[in-house]
Amino acid sequence: HSATKFIAGHSDVVAGLAATKDEKLAEQLGFLQNSFGSILGAHDCWLVLRGLKTLHCRMTQSSASAVKIAENLSDHPLVEQVYYPGFRFHPGSSTQTYQAQGSGAVLSFRLRDEEAVRQFTKHVELPVYAVSLGAVESILSYPARMSHASMPKEEREKRGITDGLLRLSVGLENPDDLIKDFHQALGKTESEAFLQTGG
Ligand SMILES: *Cc1c(COP(=O)(O)O)cnc(C)c1O
């Protein structure tokens, strides 16, 4: 597992973990860790353990907020598409239901183009604009220019990673505050577009 994301959950540690209920395998893993010595520092371990204690509460709250935000964004005229496995019509919906209890805290949505993304990210105030996900703060990322920037454009488009796509990892803020923030940013995006096309 990556412990960097939801498990630690506070954007302050980079860590991975292997879990097994096979005692023999656990012993072998422990032996390797002990012999190589390339293990996580004590403070990082403490941060992961501390985050783990609230994992369930954080996931429950963030997923509930994500549902609300996904539904709300779907109704906005400037949002062309919302991708969220909690939607029954999402192609990954049955996989999500099979693998997990909730619908998760991560969604993405598509605006018209890069310019719309530029305006929106300029005006949005609450989420952090960064590559990461799975933390107490909401994190907005722009895959075409961040995580998938090194992928050729045609390949990105084939996978739906268009220039208008934004990914949102929902944190623990009040979802109504986030929705309000998105609406004011979308409102400004709309008026900029209106000005640019000369009305
Ligand atoms: C996910 C991520 C990493 C790597 O963490 P993993 O434990 O490998 O998942 C590093 N930096 C950032 C900004 C990340 O979002």
Compute the distance from residue 188 Cα to the ligand 1 centre, in Å: 32
Amino acid 191: pLDDT: 84
Which string of DSSP letters, residue by residue, matches 89-148? TSTTHHHHHHH-SS--SEEEEE-SSHHHHHHHHHH--SSEESS--SSSS-EEE-TTTTTT
Amino acid 199: pLDDT: 56
Amino acid 108: pLDDT: 98
Compute the distance from residue 101 Cα to the ligand 1 centre, in Å: 24
Amino acid 198: pLDDT: 65
Sites in the chain below the pLDDT cut of 50: none
All domains of the chain in start order, with CATH: 55-196 (3.90.1150.10)
Return phi, psi of residue 187, to 5°. -60, -45
Return phi, psi of residue 131, to 5°. -80, -25
Amino acid 158: pLDDT: 96
Q: Nearest C-alpha to atom 10 of ligand 1 is from which residue?
A: 14
96-139 residue pLDDT tens:
999 999 999 999 999 999 999 999 999 999 999 999 999 999 99
User: Structure pTM?
Assistant: 0.92
Compute the distance from residue 143 Cα to the ligand 1 centre, in Å: 14
Q: Nearest C-alpha to atom 2 of ligand 1 is from which residue?
A: 132
CB 2 within 8 Å of CB 16:
yes
Compute the distance from residue 5 Cα to the ligand 1 centre, in Å: 7
Residues lining ligand 1, Cβ inside 6 A: 2, 4, 14, 16, 131-132
Amino acid 92: pLDDT: 92
